[in-house]
């Protein structure tokens, strides 16, 4: 395959030229949001610079929030962050669709099992009552952005452990199949460092910053329908709030 090198403008550093050229390409939509850039070898040849200079320009673009590095995979155009307001009860799938993103899921664990003491207490169940655990990697436009774990009282969701959940909204399923409608969610959000398994699922470094949300959701009768947590990549989630002084 032939590549055409772009001539460097005299009097300017090759790194700056590469940066501006790539920034222009990104601004003009040459690569779609979330897509992977060509290989460093191909980009360096196209720009007529060394790979060392190219990497410097790529790092600068990443610091500017235009690119995201993915170990062993290359460089990606920064995708839109999933944003959530403080008084909105909506699922991952609903939030993504509202922002024009394509949500997806990959199942890690889907099983019926006895509840732990903490889980039973949180859901108001008897010790070792049966629950259904669903753990999924959530994706936006095909890229992993969160690891979500939810636990439901098994008596409320019979057979849920056997339902295909790769590309479905749990909130929609709860209502359409079990006539369960979430009404309120007590939610806490905390910055943490990614544990090894979570980091592998999210394709980030172990210890990288993540945002961990913990939830307890009830229906209109104050009946607990699920407890769980979701671990977001730190660069893929934004929590927004309007604060007032009275």
Q: Which pLDDT tens digit goes with each residue over 210-221? A: 999 999 999 989
The total number of structural domains that make up the chain? 2
Q: Are residues 68 and 112 in the same domain?
A: no
pTM above 0.75, yes or no: no
DSSP bridge partners of 182: 219
Q: Could you list the residue range(s) of the whole structural domain that residue 50 is in?
A: 14-77
Q: Which pLDDT tens digit goes with each residue over 157-172? A: 999 999 998 878 888 8
Query: pLDDT-derived band of residue 245, with 50, 70 and 90 as boundaries?
Result: low
Write down which residue in 48, 77, 106 finishes a domain. Answer: 77
What CATH number is attached to the domain comprising 50?
1.10.10.10
pLDDT of the residue at 244 = 62
Q: Are residues 137 and 226 in the same domain?
A: yes
Q: Is residue 63 part of a domain?
A: yes
Average pLDDT estimate for 145-167: 94
Q: Are residues 42 and 159 in the same domain?
A: no
Q: Is residue 3 predicted with pLDDT exceeding 50?
A: no
Q: Is residue 2 part of a domain?
A: no
Average pLDDT, the chain: 85
Q: Are residues 60 and 92 in the same domain?
A: no
Q: Is residue 12 predicted with pLDDT exceeding 70?
A: no
Write down which residue in 26, 53, 77 finishes a domain. Answer: 77
Q: Which pLDDT tens digit goes with each residue over 14-30? A: 888 888 899 888 888 88
pLDDT of the residue at 27 = 82
Query: pLDDT-derived band of residue 102, with 50, 70 and 90 as boundaries?
Result: confident
DSSP 12: S
Q: Are residues 188 and 146 in the same domain?
A: yes
Q: Is residue 8 part of a domain?
A: no
Q: Are residues 217 and 104 in the same domain?
A: yes
Q: Is residue 100 part of a domain?
A: yes
pLDDT of the residue at 87 = 54
For residue 226, give the nearest of 130, 135, 122 by alpha carbon.
122
Query: pLDDT-derived band of residue 109, with 50, 70 and 90 as boundaries?
Result: very high
Q: Are residues 71 and 102 in the same domain?
A: no
User: With contact defined as beta carbons under 8 Å apart, do 33 and 79 qualify?
Assistant: yes
Give one word for 144, left, alpha or beta, with left for phi > 0 and alpha for psi -120 to 50: beta
Q: Are residues 88 and 187 in the same domain?
A: yes
């Amino acid at each position: 395959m032939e590549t055409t090198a772009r001539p460097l403008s005299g009097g300017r550093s090759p790194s700056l030229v590469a940066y501006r050229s790539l920034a222009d390409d990104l601004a003009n939509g040459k690569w779609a949001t979330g897509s992977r850039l060509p290989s460093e070898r191909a980009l360096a040849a196209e720009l007529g610079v060394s790979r060392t200079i190219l990497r410097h320009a790529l790092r600068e673009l990443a610091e500017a929030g235009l690119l995201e590095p993915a170990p062993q995979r290359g460089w990606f155009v920064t995708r839109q962050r999933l944003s959530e307001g403080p008084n909105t009860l909506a699922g991952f799938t609903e939030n993504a669709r509202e922002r024009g993103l394509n949500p997806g899921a990959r199942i890690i664990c889907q099983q019926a099992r006895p509840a732990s003491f903490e889980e039973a207490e949180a859901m108001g169940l008897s010790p070792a009552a049966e629950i259904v655990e669903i753990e999924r990697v959530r994706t936006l436009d095909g890229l992993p952005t969160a690891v979500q774990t939810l636990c439901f009282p098994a008596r409320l969701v019979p057979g849920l452990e056997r339902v295909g959940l790769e590309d479905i909204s749990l909130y929609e399923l709860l209502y359409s199949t079990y006539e369960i409608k979430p009404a309120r969610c007590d939610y806490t959000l905390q910055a943490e460092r990614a544990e090894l398994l979570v980091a592998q699922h999210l394709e980030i470094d172990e210890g990288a910053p993540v945002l961990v949300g913990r939830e307890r959701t009830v229906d209109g009768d104050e009946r607990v329908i699920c407890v769980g947590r979701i671990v977001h990549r730190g660069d893929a989630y934004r929590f927004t709030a309007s604060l007032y002084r009275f």
